[in-house]
Amino acid sequence: MNLRPLLASLALAALGSAHAAEKLTVQLDWLPGGDKSFVYAGLKQGYFAAEGLDVTILPGRGSADAITKVGSGAADVGFGGISALMMAAAEGGVPVKAVMSLYSKQPDSLFTTPGSGIKSLKDVAGKTVATSTFSSSNSLWPVVLESNGIDPSKVKLLKVDPSTLAPMLAQGRVDATINWVTVAPAVQSVLKQAGKDLVVVPWTSYGLDGYGWSAMASDKLIKERPDTLKRYLRALNKALQFAIANPDKAAADLKSVVPEADVAVIAAEFRSSIPLLQNEITQREGFGKFEPKLLAATWGWVAKSMDYAPAKVDPEKLVDRSFLGK
Amino acid sequence: MKSLLNRHASLLAFAVVLLCWEAGCRVFQVPVFVLPAPSAIVISAIDLGLPRWLEHLAATLQVALLGYAAAIAIALPLAIGITKSPLLSRTLMPWLVVVQSTPIVAIAPIIVVTLGAGTLPRVVITTLIAFFPLVISTATGLAAAPAELIELSRSLRAPRWREYTQIRLPYAVPYVFAALKVAITLAVIGAVVAEFVAAEKGLGYLILFATSSFKVPVAFAALALLVSCSLLLYALIVWLHRRLFPWSLSAPN
């Protein structure tokens, strides 16, 4: 007679009752798209559960919205562009820190079609460009143009609801749109219906450097439950590695929670975010790290684009690197 | 003293609320990004500067008033048509109800995609939000004329247009103005909804922009200006009603 399985299950049950899963609310900065599929992989593949976390995922409306919700305690952890966190600090501060870098390259790019006559950034002069009303790219846009010797006033900029960007580009109502490179597959599928191709002009090719999308946590969580945060980031890291290795499985995980999603598009979206997650910078510095020089450069872009005095914010005070221990 | 209190009760209540708000923010140290104190809102408003405020206000007012005018221009003839012709009424009413039942916020992005991102889609959205009460209320008012007066005018062989100008329309005035009051506040709401979907200036746009760059006090200031704007326009309609049709001030029941 073998008592091992019985003992094992008893031991598990005891563990379970001693360790009721800890609740953790994760605030996304946008609707569940392909770039977020790894979070759902963490949920469905059991990485969060293995660390004793009961995770709830909330969709958001932009980085500012996500950071505000984490800061006000509506969520424990979240995601957002670190430039938005820097803006928040310049405007009086929110009790939120960036605890892990996700994108070590900026995702901002210009989407256009072969017929628009835009091949490089220089060609946007005299053209009409549409952007989301509250995109973090908007404040960077004029600075990127100026640093490439283009007069921003020469470009007609429309601010619209993000859902209208791809259709407007497909209909030829605008010459280009400003999007994160991660949504390229979704936009491509809209353009295809109009018989057009997508041309992506990433701003990284025009001198834009710095950290972008990051994992953030509230000061309250950092102070009161540091161990929880450590376990969450460990699980998140595993989920990321899993999604990078299996984009299709991660997409299926997202779809199991968000039935409206299209697996092929999600997988393609996540694939297009991999170069932002893994590149020469992460190879040099290690994944998730905030290298001080590049962090300072990131703040430099924000300060220039929002007319803040360079000394107004110390970017080092906005990151907490102590949770990245493996 | 008592009469003073009575006369300024609403102002006093408003001041007390503001004081409690200010005190609450200071005592409980409410973070600015959750709820800014009134003083912070005023300071941020001054910082933005009058020219910028006027620019945003003008943009919103332009869309609201254009949409309002379009709503009136569509609604009044439509209401006359509906009361005149039972066939037209049977044909159009279901459609009007369908339009009214459609959440305009949800179809606003579609309107922007089809009409582009200029002033036109914003005016269309505003008109769609504001026109329904105008049609219904005006039609009700036109039908409210006493039947015996209509009978009398017909027995005297009055032409149809005079039946409208001299009997039905005067009877409808209180109803029309009741609807005009509702519609002007709806027009302001409509303009803001439209700016949320597509705009590069305007108070609705400013609220979105300010919250997305953590200038929450500015957003509150814009909100306060929007509310004042709505109240003033409402008061303007009431004043017009008094000036133009003092005889019709006994509200319809």
Residues A116 and A97: their CA atoms lie apart, in Å, by: 41
Q: Which residues of A touch B208 (CB under 8 A)?
A: 133-134
Look at residue A302 and tell me whether its pLDDT is greater than 90: yes
Q: Which residues of B touch A63 (CB under 8 A)?
A: 212
Partner-chain contact A158 B108, CB within 8 Å: no
Query: Is the CB of residue A158 less than 8 Å away from at least one CB of chain B?
Result: yes
pLDDT in the model for residue A233? 97
CA B84 to chain centre: 28
- Angstrom CA distances, B233 to A196, B106, B131, B138, B248, stand at 47, 27, 16, 20, 20
**Number of separate domains in chain A:** 2
pLDDT in the model for residue A240? 97
pLDDT in the model for residue A14? 46
The values of phi and psi at residue B215, to 5°, are -95, 65
Looking at chain A from residue 82 to 101, which residues have their Cβ under 8 Å from any Cβ of chain B?
A: 84, 87-88, 91-92, 94-95
Q: Do A67 and A119 fall within a single domain?
A: no
Q: Which residues of A touch B209 (CB under 8 A)?
A: 133-134
Q: Is residue A7 included in any domain, yes or no?
A: no
Kindly state the DSSP code that residue B157 receives in the 8-state scheme.
T
For A109-122, how does the pLDDT look when each residue is reduced to its tens digit (9 = 90+)? Answer: 999 999 999 999 99
Look at residue A1 and tell me whether its pLDDT is greater than 60: no
Min Cα–Cα distance to chain A from B89, Å: 36
Q: Do A134 and A231 fall within a single domain?
A: no
Closest partner residue to B112 (CB to CB) among A63, A68, A160 is A160
**pTM metric for this prediction:** 0.82
Q: Do A51 and A140 fall within a single domain?
A: no
pLDDT in the model for residue B43? 94
pLDDT in the model for residue B32? 85
**Number of Cβ pairs < 8 A linking chain A and chain B:** 83
Kindly state the DSSP code that residue B31 receives in the 8-state scheme.
-
Q: Do A130 and A270 fall within a single domain?
A: no
Q: Which residues of A touch B213 (CB under 8 A)?
A: 64, 87, 91, 139, 306
pLDDT category, A9, cuts 50, 70, 90? low
Q: Is residue A198 included in any domain, yes or no?
A: yes
For A192-251, how does the pLDDT look when each residue is reduced to its tens digit (9 = 90+)? Answer: 999 999 999 999 999 999 999 999 999 999 999 999 999 999 999 999 999 999 999 999
Q: Do A217 and A293 fall within a single domain?
A: yes
Q: Do A74 and A114 fall within a single domain?
A: no
Query: Is the CB of residue A160 less than 8 Å away from at least one CB of chain B?
Result: yes
- Average pLDDT of every residue of chain B: 90
Q: Classify domain B49-249 at the CATH class level.
A: mainly alpha
With a CB cutoff of 8 Å and minimum separation 6, the contacts of A276 are A102, A103, A104, A105, A107, A181, A182, A212, A213
Secondary structure of residue B199 in the 3-state scheme = coil
Token representation of residue B28: 């409980």
> Which residue type occupies A47?
Y
Domain boundary among A206, A236, A269: A206
Q: Do A92 and A222 fall within a single domain?
A: yes
For A103-156, how does the pLDDT look when each residue is reduced to its tens digit (9 = 90+)? Answer: 999 999 999 999 999 999 999 999 999 999 878 788 889 999 999 999 999 999
Token representation of residue A234: 């460990």
Min Cα–Cα distance to chain B from A317, Å: 18
Q: Do A56 and A177 fall within a single domain?
A: no
Partner-chain contact A87 B196, CB within 8 Å: no
Q: Is residue A119 included in any domain, yes or no?
A: yes
Domain boundary among A184, A206, A228: A206
Domain boundary among A151, A178, A206: A206
Q: Is residue A234 included in any domain, yes or no?
A: yes
Its domain, for residue A232, covers: 22-106+211-317
pLDDT in the model for residue B253? 43
Q: Do A232 and A93 fall within a single domain?
A: yes
pLDDT in the model for residue B252? 47
Look at residue A4 and tell me whether its pLDDT is greater than 60: no
Regions of chain B short of the pLDDT cut 70 = 250-253
Q: Across residues A307-321, what is the average pLDDT? A: 96
Closest partner residue to A91 (CB to CB) among B108, B197, B215 is B215
Query: Is the CB of residue A72 less than 8 Å away from at least one CB of chain B?
Result: yes
Please check whether residue A157 is in contact with residue B200, taking contact to mean a CB–CB distance below 8 angstroms. Answer: yes
- CATH number for the domain including A60? 3.40.190.10
Q: Where are the domains of chain B?
A: 49-249
pLDDT in the model for residue B90? 92
- Angstrom CA distances, A241 to A244, A250, B41, stand at 5, 10, 46
Query: Is the CB of residue A130 less than 8 Å away from at least one CB of chain B?
Result: yes
For A44-83, how does the pLDDT look when each residue is reduced to its tens digit (9 = 90+)? Answer: 999 999 999 999 999 988 888 899 999 998 999 999 999 9
Partner-chain contact B117 A130, CB within 8 Å: yes
Query: Is the CB of residue A68 less than 8 Å away from at least one CB of chain B?
Result: yes
3-state helix/strand/coil string of chain A: CCCHHHHHHHHHHHHHHHCCCEEEEEECCCCCCHHHHHHHHHHHCCHHHHCCEEEEEECCCCHHHHHHHHHCCCCCEEEEEHHHHHHHHHCCCCCEEEEEECCCCCCEEEEECHHHCCCCHHHHCCCEEEEECCCCHHHHHHHHHHHCCCCHHHCEEEEECHHHHHHHHHHCCCCEEEEEHHHHHHHHHHHHHCCCCCEEEEHHHHCCCCCCEEEEEEHHHHHHCHHHHHHHHHHHHHHHHHHHHCHHHHHHHHHHHCCCCCHHHHHHHHHHHHHHHCCHHHHHHCCCCCCHHHHHHHHHHHHHHHCCCCCCCCHHHHECHHHCCC
Q: Do A191 and A201 fall within a single domain?
A: yes
Percent of chain A with pLDDT over 70: 94
Token representation of residue A257: 């929670």
Q: Do A215 and A185 fall within a single domain?
A: no
